[in-house]
């Protein structure tokens, strides 16, 4: 906002040349934007390798499970247990996918009211995301065939526990929903949407581990997968208002 009134945009007639500091800051911004998905991808590869090879990193899973079970035993709390189950359920296809589809419809409606170009785009994006989640998770579950924390062997035709489907469903569904709504929301709403999506994703993962439904690394892998998907969508989705007039105060995630 501070640079809105300055003539430092080369696309404008009579623009001033960019300051050297701005040019030197470009590589830093690019590096920061790429750093998050790179870290997520590396962590996902390392965790997947350890799960496949039953490597020493799985000791973290066992340590966390012992700590959670000890907390259950030493500090029993029915309310906390119910909260864990509730958070876990938020990662189910219902309600996560309906929330995603409703967010896509709402974003399209708001974009149409604002006269935004390609206002309809959130609808197919939401539908594509709903289809993409099982396409990413189910083959991985089948390939790794990891038993759950209870240690029971997988039945014939049963998917494994790695990565966590509930965590991936929550993180991707609520994350993409926030991205779509952020395209037609003001700055304050964008911050709120981002915080809500992050808290829901973290809450679902914590609920699954607390309820002994998943190993911690199952959850971490799905978080990493969601980061990659959300980063790709955030870079691919065009800005609102392209080809049309944009609502005053509208903003988009970059």
In a domain, 19, yes or no: no
HSE on the CB side for 155, CA within 13 Å? 1
In a domain, 231, yes or no: yes
In a domain, 77, yes or no: yes
CB atoms within 10 A of CB 112: 13
Of 169 and 24, the structure prediction assigns the larger pLDDT to: 169
In a domain, 21, yes or no: no
Q: What is the pLDDT of residues 197-242, one digit of tens each?
A: 999 999 999 999 999 999 999 999 999 999 999 999 999 887 654 4
- What is the structure's pLDDT at 27? 52
> What is the average pLDDT across 91-115?
96
> What is the average pLDDT across 107-116?
92
pLDDT band at 33 (very low <50, low <70, confident <90, very high): confident
- Report pTM: 0.83
CB atoms within 10 A of CB 121: 20
In a domain, 167, yes or no: yes
In a domain, 246, yes or no: no
pLDDT band at 30 (very low <50, low <70, confident <90, very high): low
Strands (E), 59-111: none
Q: What is the pLDDT of residues 42-56, one digit of tens each?
A: 999 999 999 999 999
Structural domain including 81 reads 38-149+159-236
In a domain, 180, yes or no: yes
Q: What is the 3-state secondary structure (H, E, C) of 150-210?
A: CCCCCCCCCCCCCCCHHHHHHHHHHHHHHHHHHCCECHHHHHHHHHHHHHHHHHHHHHHHH
Looking at the 3D structure of the chain, how many domains does it have?
1
In a domain, 209, yes or no: yes
pLDDT at residue 249 tops 50: no
pLDDT at residue 189 tops 60: yes
Of 226 and 29, the structure prediction assigns the larger pLDDT to: 226
Question: For all residues of the chain together, what is the average pLDDT?
Answer: 86
For the chain, the residue count is: 254
Question: Tokens representing 246?
Answer: 């944009």
**Comparing C-alpha atoms, which of 254, 252, 239 is closest to residue 116?**
239
Evaluate whether 62 touches 212 at the Cβ level (below 8 Å).
no
pLDDT at residue 3 tops 70: no
């Amino acid at each position: 906002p501070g640079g809105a009134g300055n003539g430092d945009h080369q696309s404008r007639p009579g623009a001033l040349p960019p300051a050297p500091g701005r040019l030197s800051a470009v590589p830093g911004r690019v590096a920061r934007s790429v750093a998050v998905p790179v870290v997520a991808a590396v962590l996902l590869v390392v965790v997947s390798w350890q799960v496949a090879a039953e490597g020493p990193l799985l000791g973290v899973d066992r340590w966390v499970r012992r700590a959670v079970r000890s907390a259950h035993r030493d500090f029993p709390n029915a309310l906390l247990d119910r909260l864990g189950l509730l958070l876990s359920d938020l990662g189910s296809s219902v309600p996560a996918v309906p929330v995603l589809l409703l967010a896509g419809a709402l974003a399209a409606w708001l974009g149409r009211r604002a006269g935004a170009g390609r206002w309809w785009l959130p609808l197919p994006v939401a539908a594509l995301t709903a289809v993409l989640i099982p396409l990413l998770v189910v083959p991985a579950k089948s390939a790794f065939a990891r038993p759950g924390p209870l240690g029971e062997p997988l039945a014939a035709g049963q998917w494994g526990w790695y990565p966590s489907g509930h965590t991936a469903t929550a993180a991707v569904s609520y994350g993409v929903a926030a991205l779509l709504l952020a395209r037609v929301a003001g700055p304050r709403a964008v911050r709120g949407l981002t915080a809500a999506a992050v808290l829901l994703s973290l809450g679902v993962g914590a609920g699954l581990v607390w309820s002994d439904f998943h190993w911690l690394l199952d959850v971490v892998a799905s978080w990493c997968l969601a980061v990659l998907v959300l980063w790709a969508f955030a870079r691919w989705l065009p800005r609102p208002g392209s080809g049309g007039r944009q609502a005053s105060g509208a903003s988009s995630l970059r």
